[in-house]
Amino acid sequence: METTATAPGRASTKAVPPAPDMLVPATSTLDPFAAELRFTSAHRAHRDAHPALREAACLAVQLPETLAPIEDGDLVAGRLAPRLCGFTPDEWGADISLGYHVLPRLVDEALTTGAVSAERRAEVEEMLAYWRRERTAALVRAAYPPALAEDLPSDAWMGEPGIAFPLYRLCGGTVHNARLVGLGLPGLRDEVAARRARGGVDLDLLAGFDQALDLLEEAARRYQDQALRLAASAGPARRTELEAMAETLGLVCERAPESYREAVQLFWLYQLCGDIRNYGRLDVTLGPLLAHDLDAGVLSDDEALRLTQSLWRLMAARLTRVHNRVVVGGVGRPDPAAADRFALLAIEASRTVLEAEPQLSLRLHAGQDPLLLERGLDAIGAGRTFPILYNDDVNVPAAAAAMGVGLEEAEQYVPYGCGELVLEGRSFATPSGVINLLKALEAALFHGECQRTGRRLGPDLGGLETYRTFDELWTAYAGQVDHLVRRLAEQERLEYDVCAREFSALYLSLLYDGCLERGRAFHDGGLELLAGTLETYGNTNTADSLLAIRRLVFERAEVPAEDLLAALRTDFAGAEPLRGLLLAQPKYGNDDDEADEMLVRVHEHVCEQARAQAARVGLASYLVVVINNSANTLMGAHTGASADGRHDGTPMANGNAPTGGADTCGLTARMNSVVRPSPAIHAGAVQNLSLSRELFRDRRDVVEALLSVYFARGGSQLMVTVTGRGELEAALAHPDEYRHVFVRVGGFSARFVDLPEDVQREIVERTLY
């Protein structure tokens, strides 16, 4: 049995092999479908139960199977095994997964590779048929009203040409882990009991909470037993470690954590049981007990680092690729001194644990201990791509404005996933849609049709040859975008509603503000700030294309519309001079007002259009995120040649970065451009910056000045890859020798040689300063 743990819709074009340490529990090895069939039976048996109780019943089957054994070297207990079907409140697996899900491709794989009896095969087929109907994503799709189904006909955003696609997932849950550590299991149980005592509440939901806490305790006890069993046969050093682990596991069942070790253990088990993949402000959660233990001499610096490194390796083993966010630093922390001690430890762990995850994110603000940034830059300079830098001075007011909350509340912003912002424990905003703006422009140029296939993308609002002015083209482009943004917002609301009928997301709801008090699941009226986000792609290419068209077709009448359309259709075959002319037009990323203003116009249009949907569909906010992953490459593959000179099927620019190679005026010019789009109207945008190893090593003063000015001028975030172009080219040629090279792809860090070759080539071609 084999599965991948990459996020749905984020899979690379080749399957990511499971890490060797993701061992399948013994029962599943003997009978590869036993766990899945039991899970399916539980789901079926509780079909008419309250969503909270059904979820708890399913988790009671799932957790013992998917919490994988302690492995050699682990100092903290808790690993996840792969599964072929199950429940997640977040997202799981390489295929679409939401809530109750199955991974059909992997089931097929297991059926073809394993020795499966005919009888068992029939059961599995029946199971698949059941999940085809009952998986949550299918229920969401089935609930589409006709208009929604018509405008969003396909879910295959990676495999088909289209402007907009829905994504089926609830991701980015980032709970109040400080509350978890403060209360511990007994305290949380007391809170549920107290709520029950006050009355007027959905008792089934509370029963679900109780069961979830029981399951967590059972998991801790199972790991405790395992640790003791392993200790009995271990050498002296390992025995000490395992005995400490066992003792800790016992303690977390009995009391609120009183040590760093207990806090880490409870935190980690809770995240695994709840399938929570983004951890929020871990310095707030773990800092106070870390400081206490270090000061009291209970824990040495070295022990603290080793524990943290172990936690980091366990996070990496989840292979989420785009999640595993740990946030440190920033304003709004109750005990900054203690939190900073954890932050420094976290940076050291990220510097020394050579994995692509967790995604350590460092929030910066004026008045912060400069050591945090200094150490952070050391790790970045070592080629780790972490920490990702966030500028509180910009992000706090921007998040407040975008999300419509007060400044104090906005201080609790945390990035999750590829860089979407939410408020820790206070808001939820999964990205449930993608829109390819460049494809929308294509539709506006070609009468609503795909220029590659002739397939209908949107309404026929005209074609380039019919527009008399640039404004008419703009109106048609905006028309293609607007109606799909409206649909995607409706889809997002619908997805929450269907999910609320299906499950209560017990572990999330228990640690989200207001849910216990209101006695509602987070997506069922429990969370005040239930929001949504929309991923936009192709922003830069769209802006550069629009500008080229405005200048050449409308302002100067230098290129007839028909010529341009023909050149785009044929991917510039025989039209290289025209392509040269298109490439020579001003491009975003060069501190050129005309180009930057067009990008801002494209950005503001889609951001405002999204924002306007929130009230209409009943979300606290609905905001664009300009994140990236490999979607620019994957969606670019289905996008025709564009008027910025981009060839058919080639990658679009990454996030809201300039097109690779088009930023020819120097790094400062690029930095000046990328601070132009307002961060106060969206929920996160990412900036990748590749700096040469030599610059970082020899001119650290220059790098620091560069960053300080970028942030002072309004830069909200920055991800820095430090590498050499020669090193990347060598890695392309000799992948086996360059497994230590990590790069930032946009929304995540990856081992360079693990990326698909087209993405590798794109990265090599990005401007490196």
Partner 1 sequence: MEGTVFDVQRFAVHDGPGIRTTVFLKGCPLRCGWCHNAESWHRRPQLAVRTGLCPGCEECRDATPGATARLPHRSRCPALRVIGRVTTAGAVIEEVLRDRDYYAASGGGLTLSGGEPLTQPAFTESLLRLAGEAGVNTCLDTSGFASEQTVLRMVGLVDLWLYDVKATGEQDHRSLTGVGPGRILANLERLLVLGERVRLRVPLLPGVNDTHEHLQHVAAIAARHPELDGVDVFPYHSWGVAKAAEVGATLPYADLPSVTPEAASDLVSRLHRLGCTRAQLG
The binding site for partner 1 (CB under 8 A) comprises: 576-581, 583, 591, 665-669, 672, 695, 699, 701-702, 705-706, 708-709, 712-713, 769
Residue with Cβ nearer partner 1 (153 or 666) = 666
Q: Which of 341, 361, 11 is nearest to 169 (CA)?
A: 11
- Between CA 307 and CA 314 the distance in angstroms is 11
> Among residues 612 and 695, whose Cβ is nearest to partner 1?
695
Minimum CB separation of residue 468 from partner 1 in Å reads 25
Cβ proximity to partner 1, 193 vs 702, nearer residue? 702
Of 298 and 665, which has the nearer Cβ to partner 1?
665
Q: Please identify, using beta-carbon distances, which residue of 508 and 578 lies nearer to partner 1.
A: 578
Please give the C-alpha separations between residue 378 and each of 174, 429, 539, 653, in angstroms, as whole numbers: 28, 33, 33, 28
| Closest by Cα among 465, 470, 423 to 598 | 470
Q: Report residue 97: phi and psi, to 5°.
A: -145, 135
State the residue for tokens 């048609």. Answer: 476
CB of 548 to partner 1, least distance (A): 14
161: preceding bond cis by omega (within 30 degrees): no
Nearer to partner 1, 527 or 674 (CB): 674
Closest contact distance (angstroms) between CB of 713 and partner 1 is: 6
Residues sharing a CB contact under 8 Å with residue 501, sequence separation 6 or more, in sequence order: 51
Neighbouring C-beta atoms of residue 455, cutoff 10 Å: 12
* Nearer Cβ to partner 1 (227/671): 671
Toward partner 1, which CB reaches closer, 380 or 559? 559
Contact status, residue 485 vs residue 606, Cβ threshold 8 Å: yes
CB of 276 to partner 1, least distance (A): 40
Closest CB to partner 1 among residues 460, 576: 576
Q: Which residues of 553-581 are buried (b: 16+ CB within 10 A; e: fewer)?
A: bbeeeebebeebbebbbebbeebeebbeb
> Cβ distance 539 to 626 under 8 Å?
yes
Residue placing its CB nearer to partner 1 in the complex, 323 or 579: 579
Comparing CB distances to partner 1, the nearer of 73 and 666 is 666
The least CB distance from residue 655 to partner 1, in Å, is 20
Which residues pair with residue 751 across a beta bridge? 742
DSSP state of 527: -
The residue (of 88 and 585) whose beta carbon lies closer to partner 1 is 585
Is the C-alpha dihedral spanning 109, 631, 328, 395 positive or negative? Answer: negative
Give the shortest CB-708-to-partner 1 separation in angstroms: 5
How far apart CA 499 and CA 139 sit, in angstroms, is 9
**CA dist., res. 513 & res. 191, Å (int):** 13
Pick from 287, 278, 393, 294: nearest CA to 340 = 287
Q: Considering the complex, what minimum distance in angstroms separates the CB of residue 579 from partner 1?
A: 8
Pick between residue 410 and residue 706 the one whose CB is nearest to partner 1: 706
Closest CA to 349 of 291, 300, 306: 306
Nearer to partner 1, 632 or 721 (CB): 721
Strands annotated E in 78-129: 79-80, 85-88, 99-102
Provide, rounded to whole angstroms, the least separation between the CB of residue 674 and partner 1: 14
DSSP of 585-640: S--TTSS-HHHHHHHHHHHHHHHHHHHTHHHHHT-S-EEEEE--SSHHHHHHTTS-
The nearest distance, CB 712 to partner 1, in angstroms, is 7
Helix ranges (H only) for 318-391 are 336-352, 370-381
Kindly give, in sequence order, each residue whose CB lies less than 8 Å from that of residue 575, ignoring residues fewer than 6 positions away.
563, 566, 567
CB of 469 to partner 1, least distance (A): 23
Q: Which is nearer to partner 1, 581 or 600 (CB)?
A: 581
DSSP per-residue letters across 405-433: --HHHHTTEEEETTTEEEETTTEE--EEE
Q: In terms of CB distance, is 718 or 759 closer to partner 1? A: 718
**Helix pair angle (260-273, 236-254), 10° resolution:** 70
Tell the smallest beta-carbon distance from residue 688 to partner 1 (Å).
Answer: 16
Smallest distance, Å, CB 73 to partner 1?
40
Show the beta-strand stretches assigned E in 478-556: 529-530, 532-537
Other Cβ atoms less than 10 A from the Cβ of 102: the count is 27
How many CB atoms neighbour CB 238 within 10 A? 14
Compute the least distance from the CB of residue 632 to partner 1, in Å.
25
Q: With respect to partner 1, which residue has the nearer C-beta, 137 or 599? A: 599
HSE at residue 712, side-chain half, CA atoms within 13 A, is 7
Minimum Å gap between C-beta 557 and partner 1 is 14
Looking at the Cβ atoms of 277 and 587, the one nearer to partner 1 is: 587
Q: Which residues have C-beta within 8 Å of that of residue 101, sequence separation ≥ 6? A: 85, 86, 87, 88, 92, 93, 131, 135, 136, 137
CB of residue 518 to partner 1, shortest distance in Å? 48
How far, rounded to the nearest angstrom, does the alpha carbon of residue 438 sit from its chain's CA centroid? Answer: 22
Interior/surface letters 421-453, b for 16+ CB within 10 angstroms, e for the rest: bbbbbbbbbbbbbbbbbbbbbbbbbbbbbbbbe
Query: Smallest distance, Å, CB 705 to partner 1?
Result: 3
- Residue whose C-alpha is closest to residue 354's, from 2, 82, 761, 752: 752
In the complex, the smallest distance separating the C-beta of residue 670 from partner 1, rounded to whole angstroms, is: 8
Least distance from partner 1 to the Cβ atom of residue 675, Å: 11
Task: For 485-507, give one letter per residue: b (16+ CB within 10 A) or e.
Answer: bbbbbbbbbbbbebbbebbbbbb
